[in-house]
């Protein structure tokens, strides 16, 4: 099938490359000429494991191309996916739909022949109706359908998630559009990924409900971790004890510094706003968002406490800046709040991240950036592990001890064992563990 992907970011580029790998003829469009130039030179503008090879292979086989010309890419397409950003709208937390609506207007101007327009961006309930209205108004005679197909991939494991999804959700009541979507995803459901066809509004809401539920699980275990610290229990054992119950499940029960990233913070907020507008407020999610918001600075204070109550004039080493490992995505990363809290309290911060430093630098200009974990620890008064990159899981503890001026380690991801760290001479603080 001839597929066009509008937006060549984390979702659009991965989805486009994977569709091409299934055998479809895919063109990715982005309005950012620097991004398209880089892709046409064979450079991948983001860090996502395996993406570079997948893109190169499909470009070589002439199934994947890149352009800034939306018109060229849309006019012959059978399906046009919208995968542009839907960040929080400044000021009120609603999803900013201006990029989606602009894409809809641009598509309308270039449509020819029956085309399925698919919203892959995460959008509030009713956005599909508005996209349809925009296109219909501009092109009353055009033959098209607007479908919702939310994306559930995780950065860092995006290709595997896209190629082996737990489910594919397709929101449409139009049989012709449903057939086109089924054809596009055929390679996947032959591999037995369940394909759920729902109403368009149901599909839109399913994405937000999924993210809100996962954010709730994380926030729940974080609060249990705080309680563990007060009563002398171990949150990892509690998480295992509840997670082995199939009704609960063990995933997303890792206590830590609070959720961040390009999806959970903005999507919980957008769902709260939609629910309020429809007079069906989601009190649980409102609480989750508020608790998580406060947690990030609280983690900064945890570091200050571990340093004896003051970090003024001290140097704090921070390992990991991205919101999770295996991505360079810094959007709403907990490191931003934690580092700002430490700087507000008078600390100098030195940081190292394997892939995120070029993105972090403009966001955290006052930070000193290190070459590696040991360079980061050099002469520091404490070391904080914020992101659990594999490279930080088996550090040479003797070397680390020697590098630090004071052997204080605050492990916000619980990747080291408290007994071993203490035996090695560290003052060790983790999350929800004695
Ligand atoms: N990042 C994730 O892990 C993830 C996972 C699931 C769903 N989503 C959702 O997918 C959507 C995209 O997220 P992302 O992380 O890929 O965003 P992104 O910012 O990485 O990519 C969006 C791209 O769209 C381009 N763009 C914007 N308007 C355009 C237009 N009119 N024409 C052409 N290109 C245009 C931008 O230049 C940018 O390159 C969001 O709604 C997000 O919530 C993201």
Q: Whose CA is nearest to atom 44 of ligand 1?
A: 11
Strands of 110-154, DSSP E: 115-119, 144-148
Q: Is the CB of 122 under 6 A from ligand 1?
A: yes
> Would you say the C-alpha torsion 415, 418, 422, 427 has a positive or negative sign?
positive
Q: Is the CB of 69 under 6 A from ligand 1?
A: no
Q: Whose CA is nearest to atom 10 of ligand 1?
A: 121
pLDDT digits (tens, 9 = 90+) for 167-206: 999 999 999 999 999 999 999 877 788 999 999 999 999 9
Can you tell me which atom of ligand 1 is nearest the CA of 152? 6
Q: Is the CB of 342 under 6 A from ligand 1?
A: no
First-residue to last-residue Cα distance in the chain: 57
pLDDT above 70 coverage of the chain, percent: 100
Asked whether the beta carbons of 83 and 120 are under 8 A apart, the reply is: yes
Average pLDDT value for the chain: 97
Ligand 1 centroid, distance to 112 Cα (angstroms): 25
pLDDT digits (tens, 9 = 90+) for 289-348: 999 999 999 999 999 999 999 999 999 999 999 999 999 999 999 999 999 999 999 999
Tell me if residue 412 falls in helix, strand or coil: coil
Q: Is the CB of 155 under 6 A from ligand 1?
A: yes
Residue 189: predicted pLDDT: 78
Q: Is the CB of 330 under 6 A from ligand 1?
A: no
pLDDT above 90 coverage of the chain, percent: 98
Asked whether the beta carbons of 292 and 217 are under 8 A apart, the reply is: no
d(CA 233, CA 144): 58
In sequence order, the 6+-apart residues with CB closer than 8 A to the CB of 114 are 78, 143, 144, 176
Q: Which of 18, 27, 228, 263 is catalytic?
A: 263
pLDDT digits (tens, 9 = 90+) for 78-134: 999 999 999 999 889 999 999 999 999 999 999 999 999 999 999 999 999 999 999
Task: Report the side by side order of strands in the sheet with 408-411.
Answer: 368-369, 348-352, 315-319, 382-385, 408-411, 427-429
Ligand 1 centroid, distance to 30 Cα (angstroms): 10
Pocket probe mutation, ligand 1, options 37, 84, 150, 210, max atoms within 8 Å of Cβ: 84
Q: Is the CB of 84 under 6 A from ligand 1?
A: yes
Q: Is 263 a catalytic residue?
A: yes
Which residues are registered as beta bridge partners of 63? none
Q: Is the CB of 48 under 6 A from ligand 1?
A: no
pLDDT digits (tens, 9 = 90+) for 18-55: 999 999 999 999 999 999 999 999 999 999 999 999 99
Q: Please determine, for residue 135, whether its predicted confidence score (pLDDT) is greater than 80.
A: yes
Can you tell me which atom of ligand 1 is nearest the CA of 7? 24
Stated pTM of the model: 0.96
Ligand 1 centroid, distance to 206 Cα (angstroms): 19
Asked whether the beta carbons of 353 and 320 are under 8 A apart, the reply is: yes
d(CA 358, CA 117): 35
Q: Please determine, for residue 210, whether its predicted confidence score (pLDDT) is greater than 80.
A: yes
């Amino acid at each position: 099938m001839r597929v066009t992907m509008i937006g060549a970011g984390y979702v659009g580029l991965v989805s486009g490359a994977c569709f091409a790998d299934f055998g479809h003829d895919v063109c990715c469009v982005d309005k950012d000429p620097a991004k398209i130039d880089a892709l046409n030179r064979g450079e991948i503008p983001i860090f996502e494991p395996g993406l570079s090879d997948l893109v190169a292979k499909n470009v070589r086989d002439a199934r994947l191309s890149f352009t800034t010309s939306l018109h060229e890419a849309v006019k012959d397409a059978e399906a046009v996916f919208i995968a542009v950003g839907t960040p929080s709208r400044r000021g009120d937390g609603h999803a900013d739909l201006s990029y989606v609506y602009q894409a809809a207007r641009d598509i309308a101007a270039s449509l020819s022949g029956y085309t399925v327009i698919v919203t892959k961006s995460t959008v509030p309930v009713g956005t599909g109706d508005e996209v349809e209205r925009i296109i219909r108004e501009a092109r009353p005679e055009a033959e098209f359908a607007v479908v919702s197909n939310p994306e559930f991939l995780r950065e860092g494991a995006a290709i595997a998630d896209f190629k082996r999804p737990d489910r594919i959700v397709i929101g449409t009541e139009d049989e012709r559009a449903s057939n086109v979507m089924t054809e596009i995803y055929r390679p996947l459901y032959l591999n037995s990924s369940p394909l759920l066809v729902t109403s368009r509004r149901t599909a839109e809401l399913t994405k937000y409900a999924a993210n809100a539920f996962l954010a709730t699980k994380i926030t729940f275990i974080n609060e249990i971790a705080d309680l563990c610290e007060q009563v002398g229990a171990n949150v990892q054992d509690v998480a295992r004890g509840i997670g082995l119950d199939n009704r609960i499940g063990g995933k997303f029960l890792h206590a830590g510094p609070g959720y961040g990233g390009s999806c959970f913070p903005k999507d919980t907020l957008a769902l709260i706003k939609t629910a309020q507008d429809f007079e069906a407020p989601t009190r649980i999610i409102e609480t989750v968002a508020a608790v998580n918001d406060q947690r990030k600075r609280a983690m900064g204070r945890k570091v200050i406490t571990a340093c004896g109550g003051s970090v003024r004039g001290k140097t704090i080493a921070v390992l990991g800046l991205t919101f999770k490992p295996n991505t360079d995505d810094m959007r709403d990363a907990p490191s931003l709040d934690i580092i700002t809290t430490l700087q507000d309290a008078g600390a100098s911060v030195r940081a190292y991240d394997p892939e995120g430093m070029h993105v972090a630098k403009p966001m955290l200009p006052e930070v000193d950036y290190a070459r590696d974990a040991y360079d980061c620890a050099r002469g520091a008064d404490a070391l904080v592990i914020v992101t659990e990159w594999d490279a930080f899981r088996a550090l040479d503890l003797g070397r680390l001890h020697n590098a630090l001026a004071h052997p204080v380690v605050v492990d916000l991801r619980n990747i080291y064992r408290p007994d071993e760290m203490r035996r090695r001479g560290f003052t060790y603080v983790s999350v929800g563990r004695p």
